[in-house]
């Protein structure tokens, strides 16, 4: 079963039960440093905002993140001080001793003067991988819905931090995509942000505790183009676009000033082009998992 936006509050709630349980298997086998990181993860997840990123937005984040050599990680640069973001279909992988572990979510928050970033995968994804391998079984009742797979701190500085200077255990494409997504969330002409409520079961559980059910921010690309977009190189045959594709970020000699008579270089961010609902063409490898 794929994770829907309305599921995210419930998955967070259930994951926190594991993280706050001293008998949780991961805690019993971890060092004190890792347990301190799990404590910080629990605090950030419990207090943070929830985000769910659609597959088109995720593909654009990966593409444009590849052009980010550095990024800032201060509170002002994040969509919220603490947060949990789930990527539809996943965002990449982390290598663990030659085993490729999918990354489907990112959680962040303050920790010892820096920003703590955790990468997570879903229990659903793990169960699917195990069933396909057919070599062993997992006891799902003993595993949280969102499984922490790697955590690291990132310096909070006034100047951008080079991607090359981050913890080498963090996969750069994933971290760069997260930074790119945060930047694009600040561009209302590029993205749509809507709110979705928790599923009814979760909402009732919060109600019983006298708390409002959290909402999830859905982040996806604004539909800037329609099926009537014409191919500028098509001549007079009125051919329409059959696919969508990513247009790389580029500089544009933009007119401005009195009667738009002056020119200046303006950065145009990478964006998606083509008719809504058409297949997405990829000109480079993008690690997006599909169930």
Model confidence pLDDT, tens digit, residues 167-218:
999 999 999 999 989 988 887 777 788 999 988 888 898 888 888 888 999 9
pLDDT of 284 higher than 50: no
pTM for the whole structure: 0.77
Average pLDDT, the chain: 82
Model confidence pLDDT, tens digit, residues 90-109:
999 998 888 889 999 999 99
pLDDT, residue 100, reads 87
Q: How far is CA 94 from CA 32, 91, 103, 108, 177, in A?
A: 23, 10, 7, 17, 14
Long-range contacts of 26-33 (CB under 8 A, 24+ apart): 26/148
CB 29 within 8 A of CB 234: no
Confidence class for position 79, pLDDT limits 50, 70, 90: very high
pLDDT of 72 higher than 70: yes
CB 283 within 8 A of CB 245: yes
Q: What is the dihedral of CA 81, 189, 7, 2, to 10 degrees?
A: -120
Model confidence pLDDT, tens digit, residues 231-242:
444 444 455 677
Model confidence pLDDT, tens digit, residues 238-271:
556 777 777 777 545 667 788 888 776 544 665 6
User: Considering all CA atoms of the chain, what is the largest pairwise distance in Å, rounded to the nearest integer?
Assistant: 71
């Amino acid at each position: 079963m794929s994770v829907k936006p309305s599921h995210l509050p419930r998955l967070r709630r259930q994951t926190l039960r594991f993280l706050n349980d001293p008998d949780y298997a991961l805690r019993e086998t971890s060092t004190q440093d890792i347990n301190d990181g799990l404590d910080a993860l629990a605090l950030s997840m419990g207090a943070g905002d929830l985000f769910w990123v659609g597959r088109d937005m995720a593909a654009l984040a990966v593409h444009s993140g590849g052009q980010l050599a550095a990024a800032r990680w201060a509170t002002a640069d994040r969509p919220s001080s603490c947060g949990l973001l789930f990527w539809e279909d996943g965002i990449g992988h982390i290598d663990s001793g030659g085993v490729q572990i999918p990354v489907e979510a990112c959680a962040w928050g303050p920790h010892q003067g820096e920003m703590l970033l955790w990468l997570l995968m879903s229990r659903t994804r793990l169960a699917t991988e195990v069933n396909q391998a057919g070599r062993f079984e997992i006891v799902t009742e003993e595993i949280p819905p969102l499984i922490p797979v790697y955590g690291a701190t990132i310096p909070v500085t006034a100047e951008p931090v080079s991607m090359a200077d981050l913890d080498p255990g963090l996969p750069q494409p994933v971290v760069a995509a997260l930074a790119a997504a945060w930047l694009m969330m600040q561009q209302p002409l590029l993205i749509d942000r809507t709110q979705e409520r928790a599923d009814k079961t979760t909402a009732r559980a919060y109600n019983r505790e006298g708390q409002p059910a959290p909402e999830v921010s859905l982040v996806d690309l604004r539909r800037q183009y329609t099926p009537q977009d014409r191919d500028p190189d098509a001549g007079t045959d009125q051919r329409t676009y059959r696919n969508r594709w990513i247009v790389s970020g580029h500089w544009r000699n933009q007119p401005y000033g009195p009667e738009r008579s002056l020119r200046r270089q303006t950065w145009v961010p990478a964006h998606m082009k083509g008719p809504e609902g058409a297949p997405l063409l990829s000109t480079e490898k993008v690690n997006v998992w599909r169930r």
